[in-house]
Structure 1
């Protein structure tokens, strides 16, 4: 790789939100050396007609294990992502309390676990980061602490409050993880056993987050009928503790709930007006992606996936669940199976529950799948409003984040029909939703980086690490769809990770120049 690379003639959008300017960008020894005119270098690339901007910083991802399956992060770097944050929605892979059984916890975070050959044997968060660094990631990676691993390894999978001593133990593990470099804590209050968490535990953990100047990200308890109460809970914890807080993938699910996101944003605005620091993120799609088990009432999930099989075959339990699903906010035709842990190709993948239940009760189809596969079945789910999406994307506290995974379309993580956000989030946003290009780039770069404390990323300025994207605005487009998702975006011509050319002319160079980024306070 050249020691110097000069990009000439491009439109520089530096990530600050300030006006775009035509200028040259000089990269030297992995950093931005200069931005201006009349610059010289050993290698020169004419990028006239293209945009030069910082690499995109994806602060909400689930690549914890897929980056160990294929460290190149192909689906991410091909859309311009140079930094991502794993450990979201409470679904992290470390730390675990001493003596905890990894097996049930790995089942509980099955949403992350697309490659059974990945060896999960690290003892703590520092060990995980060492394994990740040794794998040689193709992009920069930072991690949150997943609340599920903390709670399940200390308290277990039963519906009971954590004792004061157990809360102290979790806080100790969390503090150790911060010392090892975690940039924050995430929770996901729909993923068992986290629905059983009481406020005392959330407040204690959030207080430690605030003390260490990290971030607390929330997959709130409910995104449909109880969205407002769920957002209010996160805001209340932020008010009580002062923890910097992020509401993840803010959306309202189900037509009867459309418009609720505006009232949720009012709660965010009120908290920020009172001195809190509450942000939101969202991806530019009208479907989500989740484990199929998310449909189950929380008490039915008690004990974890390993005990679901017999329970979900019990006629009385099935009748209870069926009754709970009578007034669902989304229809069975809006839920499509996107992946299962069965050998590929699985004929149920790519079909809606309504389609699979053409001659059966849809509830029985779902319960049979969950009884057999536990958390080994994923879905995409619709029922969202374009007006709601635009309201969130346009809000001052919002940043763009994929909620996706780094996938290899030709490898084991390329199975199924995953949500296209793993391949197309940032090009889709910039092509279809960006009214103001400098502000849109800011929401994809410096703003998300600052949310998680990575203040040297997301900028084009002298001295900053040279994470750079060059794209052609005339050709920029996401090509991934819900039925054919494993397609790289078009128009991303050049991607530099720490100054190393990683995508060139739309092709991956084989370079893996990413690094593990650690928080400090």
Structure 2
């Protein structure tokens, strides 16, 4: 007997095909049939009349590496329809663990929201084992991050990696790819990955290409140097043959508005020449990152400890502050979203407002916070262009990735004022960019959230509704689906999500999490 029959819904199957009225039968964790299934015997029936039935959303860009160990129910992700997440993005990751475990943990402060989470692993199999033991509600695939690779092979210094160190990095990466990693990621604004030369990036690209895996890029500069940074990613993609994903393709700062269209032209030219490149994007006009990302690379050398010590030097601070005079951001665009342990009264306020209240310079505020709390201080940074966002979202090579984290508003990971994308990315896409006149079509929007990101990450059998596919399914009301999370009140779940199934098991019904934790740890063969 069919385990679950979803009846009367409009099926958008994830392929981009036109939505159609159809029933969906689920048995043994897989899609059994899609079509007119009236009268089919089933242990349970879900009436989806007036709803859209889609594959569960595949979030190809997340930073849930550690938050899933803090709260494996993945509340903020699964309640918005996400059934599969990819961790290890932007070069930020938790494996392999170098000899200096604490230095690596400090470098990954952006991920490390719950001090109670123990790092008991040394390599990818150990980390995936810890995730499996936690039994998350969502499926998880992992990229190998550049920062721990470089830290393990070459430390945290500002210097090129030598031949032996490049061999060490490649060996560590290949071991992780052999163990099932979906690919590798770099984050060229974060130390020590920011010290990598192009030959190091080519080493990573060749390793990924040899196994047909993904190379995801947080490029070197999203502001004045965006086009040069995209060109570098495309050069490495062309020279190594690796499948390449440019992360969160945006232009930072008002003076750079319009740069995304020019970056898309570069991507189109590369794709026409046979380069396998695409990109991800989220539907917001602000991003989220460590405040330390604003520091120049030389100030971050040696890891978090030396960086914080360096910021006690008045001459160093003056040099950094002088460089910040020509920032693409305004300090009114930068909000402090999280401080470790909730210290101070700055969370939720702009750097400019904090400075005005203290009668000081915004640059001094930013330096003081980074000196005190290192990589653990997070910011939300705005000032982006709606036109750039629309250009990116509507491009055929775009997929949707939240760049968020699976958070628990009632636990340690939900503290502060996090970016609302962690709670509302996918509902916002459908409410603001599908429902609006002239927006994305429903079928194309679903494809960008399901089969397209699954294909980029190499996750076969995910992101589609067809017989034999894994029954990861989202059911939502197209007229009601909407994000409720805002920049000032982000810990709010969305409206309009009727049901979310992971591996055929209901996890969310009528907006409530039922406690099921059926997610799989996905290893790429």
Give the TM-score taking structure 1 as reference length: 0.98
Query: Contact 2:114–2:412 at 8 Å: present in 1 too?
Result: yes
Question: Structure 1: how far apart are the matches of 2:279 and 2:153?
Answer: 29
1:404 corresponds to: 404
Question: Structure 2: how far apart are the matches of 1:3 and 1:49?
Answer: 22
Question: Structure 2: how far apart are the matches of 1:365 and 1:123?
Answer: 37
Question: Structure 1: how far apart are the matches of 2:460 and 2:44?
Answer: 29
For the pair 1:462 / 2:467, whether they are aligned, the reply is: yes
For the pair 1:101 / 2:105, whether they are aligned, the reply is: no
1:517 corresponds to: 522
Question: Structure 2: how far apart are the matches of 1:455 and 1:12?
Answer: 20
CA offsets 1:195-220 (integer angstroms, 9 cap, x no match): 11011111111011111100000000
Question: Structure 2: how far apart are the matches of 1:3 and 1:226?
Answer: 55
CA offsets 1:346-404 (integer angstroms, 9 cap, x no match): 41100000000001011111111111111110000011000000000010100000000
Question: Structure 2: how far apart are the matches of 1:344 and 1:169?
Answer: 39
For the pair 1:170 / 2:180, whether they are aligned, the reply is: no
2:93 corresponds to: 92
SS in 1 for 2:474: strand
For the pair 1:265 / 2:270, whether they are aligned, the reply is: no
Moved more, 303-312 or 453-462: 303-312
1:316 corresponds to: 315
2:497 corresponds to: 492
Query: Contact 1:216–1:245 at 8 Å: present in 2 too?
Result: yes
Which stretches in structure 1 are left out of the alignment for 5+ residues?
Answer: none
Give the TM-score taking structure 2 as reference length: 0.97
The offset of 1:95, in angstroms, is 1.6
Question: Structure 1: how far apart are the matches of 2:79 and 2:115?
Answer: 25
Question: Structure 2: how far apart are the matches of 1:262 and 1:505?
Answer: 40
2:82 corresponds to: 81
The offset of 1:345, in angstroms, is 6.5
Question: Structure 1: how far apart are the matches of 2:59 and 2:344?
Answer: 30
2:437 corresponds to: none
Aligned length: 516
2:112 corresponds to: 113
1:338 corresponds to: 337
2:212 corresponds to: 213
Q: How does 1:242-391 map to 2 (within 5 A)?
A: 242-341=241-340, 343-344=341-342, 346-358=344-356, 359-391=359-391
Query: Contact 1:23–1:36 at 8 Å: present in 2 too?
Result: yes
The offset of 1:101, in angstroms, is 1.2
CA offsets 1:258-310 (integer angstroms, 9 cap, x no match): 00111111111111111110001100000000000011011011111111233
Query: Contact 2:194–2:297 at 8 Å: present in 1 too?
Result: yes
SS in 1 for 2:326: coil
For the pair 1:30 / 2:35, whether they are aligned, the reply is: no
Question: Structure 1: how far apart are the matches of 2:504 and 2:194?
Answer: 43
SS in 1 for 2:311: helix
Q: 1:482 aligns with which of 487, 507, 511?
A: 487
Question: Structure 1: how far apart are the matches of 2:41 and 2:49?
Answer: 16
Which stretches in structure 2 are left out of the alignment for 5+ residues?
Answer: 435-439
SS in 2 for 1:43: strand
Query: Contact 2:97–2:121 at 8 Å: present in 1 too?
Result: no
The offset of 1:51, in angstroms, is 0.4
The offset of 1:3, in angstroms, is 6.3
Question: Structure 2: how far apart are the matches of 1:49 and 1:371?
Answer: 54
CA offsets 1:59-92 (integer angstroms, 9 cap, x no match): 0000000000000000000000000000000001
Question: Structure 1: how far apart are the matches of 2:113 and 2:451?
Answer: 30
Question: Structure 2: how far apart are the matches of 1:160 and 1:28?
Answer: 55
Question: Structure 2: how far apart are the matches of 1:497 and 1:236?
Answer: 38
Question: Structure 2: how far apart are the matches of 1:206 and 1:485?
Answer: 37
The offset of 1:154, in angstroms, is 1.2
1:48 to 1:285, Cα distance in 2 relative to 1, 3 A: same
2:423 corresponds to: 423
CA offsets 1:450-493 (integer angstroms, 9 cap, x no match): 00100210000001110000000111000000000000011001
The offset of 1:429, in angstroms, is 0.5
Query: Contact 1:345–1:416 at 8 Å: present in 2 too?
Result: no
